[in-house]
Amino acid sequence: MTNYIYSANNNAFFPTSFIDAYSDFNLSDAVEVDDSVYLEFITPPVGKIRIAGGDGFPAWGDIPPLTKEQLVEQAGTKKQCLMAEATVSMAPLQDADDIGEATDEELAQLKAWKKYRVMLNRVDTSLGADAVWPTPPA
């Protein structure tokens, strides 16, 4: 007896010792697999995903490229994160300026961060992976 079955329809392994726990799954296509197959296909190599092979057993396939929508969403998320980081970096510098205690160096840093944040706000995230990102101040 094997320890695992593989279902191509679910593209998943199921431990045979707990098969009753998976009664909600359609396992009509499940095949028994050796532990070596389970171990080989449980963690994908870089750039690969597990797919159901034509023979009903697992196989490796290339990770599909991100869609334009996914790339745009990714760029939008990056922009939000960078804007938040810039705001956090600026806060103590702005505080020092607000109370009249900012040094010349702090004022220069504040100006650089403000310029960066303005440039960051202008990034066209609809370009996705082709968006051009400004360099943050040193």
Mean pLDDT in runs of 10 for the chain (138 residues)? 93 96 95 97 97 97 97 98 98 98 98 98 98 97
Strands 58-62, 48-52: pairing kind: antiparallel
pLDDT score recorded for residue 102: 98
86 token code pair: 């810039």
| Its pTM surpasses 0.85 | no
pLDDT score recorded for residue 2: 86
- Which CA distances in Å does 38 have to 2, 3, 6, 58, 112? 10, 9, 8, 9, 54
Q: Hey, where are the domains in the chain?
A: 4-62, 68-130
What gap in Å lies between CA 121 and CA 103, rounded to an integer? 27
User: Which parts of the chain are beta strand (E)?
Assistant: 4-7, 12-15, 31-33, 48-52, 58-62
pLDDT score recorded for residue 1: 67
